[in-house]
Structure 1
């Protein structure tokens, strides 16, 4: 487990990397929430590494404030997170993710296959990795704003798994319906709906953490990754 620098066309940015004991192994791009590459994201990388993946989580806020690591525990941190998200350039973020994916595939510890998994803001970006990159598969947990991007769905030609919470305070019911209407019949898209759950139900220690729903979603994710990255 280490922090590294990823070279990109606009400059280098940091990323956290966790590697499994046995390599080469499939690669997994872990995409941050609005709180930066914090302990939650680092723990997720460690957990995926323990499952046999080379996991890398790049700092996507580096142009705004490098190396942000905040939590969801105080109002001040929430306000900072919302400010960063409001100023974040999604298109640049996708390009940084594509750069990181290329870097990941070039690592000696990584085999030929590599996918992505993202949470919250990262869920939206995982969807965009499905529409704009050659990642081998992608997983989106409660992605925000995907309803405004369903027009890109025709570009999806690799498996995409989506986890949607019916009571997501950041994804209104009409937005959820737009996503279902436009994506659930797509041949490469699988959507699981979690009744009664709120946003970030899989964030361990979070306000809306639901152990049962999280366990189910995480099992589905691991089964999906095992199917498409081995």
Structure 2
């Protein structure tokens, strides 16, 4: 069962739209799915539906709800890609973390899911890192997260497990940024990094031209095992 609901923002100023997909029985746990810069589009909804089929309650927040509510974009359409870059420039990561915290609290209080994990893509991958550093999320996974190399000073605050999937030929995360991530995080006891040589940003997208089937299946299998270990 899937539906879009709204939950109160942490400061009470507005309501966050959230796509929720529920399993047929009692959820094993909840998984927050943080979108790329293209909104809660069909690919993100499919990821939620797939988690629900595996027994998890999956919830994808509309991260652009403050200035572009309900937007759904296709990265394979150049005009929509450029529109998405504009939304990325407007996005406030600090408020984004607050929205994730609001959703964590909602899921624990209202959906009976004591454990909550998070998986994010692109901008969502960046938010996976920040959620691990700033919230009590039980486990986080980031795919090709952007700008993480600029936030390594927060790594000391990561208390729960974090996994990061790094695209070796990522057009938005330079080799220097990837090296900095390894230097800053390889020795962290709670962080696991996986590299995917030759793969570009977006390789695990559910739909469209960016998907690399073998890479996506490998990364997704690691994510599923990670959540099974840490969420149940």
Q: TM-score, with normalisation over the residues of structure 2?
A: 0.96
Q: Any conservation in 1 of the 2:166–2:194 contact (CA below 8 Å)?
A: yes
Deviation at 1:46, TM superposition (A): 0.2
Deviation at 1:73, TM superposition (A): 2.1
Alignment of 1:1-230 (within 5 A): 1-8=2-9, 9-108=12-111, 110-230=112-232
Deviations 1:91-124 (A, max 9, x none): 101101110111111223x321111000000000
Q: Any conservation in 1 of the 2:7–2:16 contact (CA below 8 Å)?
A: yes
Q: Any conservation in 2 of the 1:59–1:67 contact (CA below 8 Å)?
A: yes
- Where in structure 1 do 4 or more consecutive aligned residues deviate above 4 Å? none
Unpaired segments ≥5 residues, structure 1: none
Distance (Å, rounded) in 1 between the aligned partners of 2:101 and 2:7: 11
Q: What root-mean-square deviation, in Å, do the aligned CA atoms of Structure 1 and Structure 2 show?
A: 0.9
Q: TM-score, with normalisation over the residues of structure 1?
A: 0.97
Deviations 1:105-146 (A, max 9, x none): 1223x3211110000000000000000000000000000000
Unpaired segments ≥5 residues, structure 2: none
